[in-house]
Structure 1
Amino acid sequence: MYREPVSWKESAIYALAEAGHPRHYRDIARRIDRMEIKPHRSDDAASTVSAAITTSLRTEGPASPFIRTEPGVYALRPDFDVLAFLEGRGFRADPSPSSAEPAAR
């Protein structure tokens, strides 16, 4: 079993890993909404995703897993080890829709 709730930041990382390329924060929010594992409820998921990513960029700087490619569009930093991140949180190594469930323990 996985720990709940998953943070919005973790969910955004997973959604971007699944997408494989930069996405607008609204699209990231839609992808998160389709995931089986969801973060805390939010009245405005898109704004919450944007805030989570922006906070990460501001507070973590170069250590943030995100980069901004254009206004409102984000990607995972090229040197971010997404597989290690996901596996460290109990997810299968392949971020695909069929692997949205955590690995069995």
Structure 2
Amino acid sequence: MSVTDKKWRAVIDEVLAESSMPLHYTDIAERIVERKLRINLGATPAATVNAQISRSIKHEGSDSPYVRVDRGVFALKSMIGETPAAFPQGSENVSAEVDEYQYDIITSFGMFWRRDNVEWNAMPKLYGVQQIGADSVDFCRQIGIYLLYDGREVIYVGRSTDRPLGRRLYEHTTDRMATRWDRFSWFGLLPVSETGSIGVMPVTYPAEKLIPALEAILIEALEPRQNRKRGDDLAAVEYSQKTDPDIDKRKAKALIDRI
């Protein structure tokens, strides 16, 4: 079996074993991608890494090879005795029952996506990738909150509930906002599967998750100077924009026609 065909647990163990420090699950995923330890990354590599480790801790108990040293930060148990100074005091006592999906509410988001990277129609393709090499996700059918920008200035805040995100943004290309915005950000509520499909809305949201999620949205959207960090671990569900391939095809055709 080639290295790139190893299972998730195997490559996670490999990355953690080579690190002298505990790693956040997003960092583990990034190292797996950078070193090309897997060919098939799915659409949510960071979430997959987190799920693999958290599931082991929860179901395997003391037999699990992993220890949670902080929220979203893990290490191999075998490393603790070798480099104790690298681990926070008492970190081995962090509860394994902590739910690492602290943003079950904000399942995905994109910041400052370019309007001209989208081929606009009634149901446009809003492609995003969690990490380089991961499968792209079409967020057209996502629902949630969005912001329109003129440069870096927020000029409009809206919501997509009865109509999906792609439809709502398309409407702003033909209404009174049509000529006023060139970028947009969005915060989605529907879950994203490992295969990149958009799921359904949960029935309820607990307050202990709702409040930090709202705080995180405000920090990301407003970027207040006195907030020294982004919303806790919100970057774990951020997606970078990917240009609609139809735009590249249209540009290539236009170039050929000119030639």
Relative to the length of structure 1, the TM-score reads 0.66
Higher relative contact order (CA 8 A, sep 6+): 1
- Alpha-carbon distance between aligned partners in 1 of 2:72 and 2:60, rounded to the nearest angstrom: 18
Structure 2 counterpart of 1:103: none
Question: Does the CA-based 8 Å contact 1:5-1:39 persist in structure 2?
Answer: yes
Structure 1 unaligned spans of 5+: 81-105
Question: Does the CA-based 8 Å contact 2:56-2:64 persist in structure 1?
Answer: yes
TM alignment of 1:21-100, pairs within 5 A: 21-38=21-38, 40-78=40-78
Give percent identity, aligned residues only. Answer: 35
Structure 1 counterpart of 2:2: 2
- Alpha-carbon distance between aligned partners in 1 of 2:55 and 2:71, rounded to the nearest angstrom: 15
Output one character per residue of 1:25-74: Cα deviation in whole Å (capped at 9) or x when no partner: 00000011122431642101100000000111112111111000010000
Question: Does the CA-based 8 Å contact 1:22-1:75 persist in structure 2?
Answer: yes
Moved over 2 A (4+): 1-5
Query: How many pairs align?
Result: 80
- Alpha-carbon distance between aligned partners in 2 of 1:63 and 1:27, rounded to the nearest angstrom: 24
Question: Does the CA-based 8 Å contact 1:25-1:46 persist in structure 2?
Answer: yes
Tell me which amino acid in the other structure corresponds to 1:73: V
Higher gyration radius (CA) = 2
What's the CA shift for 1:4?
6.3
Q: 1:3 to 1:21 in 2, by over 3 A?
A: closer
Question: Does the CA-based 8 Å contact 2:25-2:46 persist in structure 1?
Answer: yes
Structure 2 counterpart of 1:14: 14
Tell me which amino acid in the other structure corresponds to 2:63: A
- Alpha-carbon distance between aligned partners in 2 of 1:10 and 1:39, rounded to the nearest angstrom: 14
What's the CA shift for 1:7?
1.4
Q: 1:25 to 1:3 in 2, by over 3 A?
A: closer
- Alpha-carbon distance between aligned partners in 1 of 2:5 and 2:24, rounded to the nearest angstrom: 23
- Alpha-carbon distance between aligned partners in 2 of 1:64 and 1:53, rounded to the nearest angstrom: 9
> Match of 1:43, SS?
coil
Tell me which amino acid in the other structure corresponds to 1:23: L
- Alpha-carbon distance between aligned partners in 2 of 1:27 and 1:19, rounded to the nearest angstrom: 11
More helix by share: 1
- Alpha-carbon distance between aligned partners in 2 of 1:79 and 1:53, rounded to the nearest angstrom: 16
- Alpha-carbon distance between aligned partners in 2 of 1:15 and 1:3, rounded to the nearest angstrom: 13
The alignment yields a C-alpha RMSD, in angstroms, of 2.1
Relative to the length of structure 2, the TM-score reads 0.29
Structure 1 counterpart of 2:136: none
More strand by share: 2
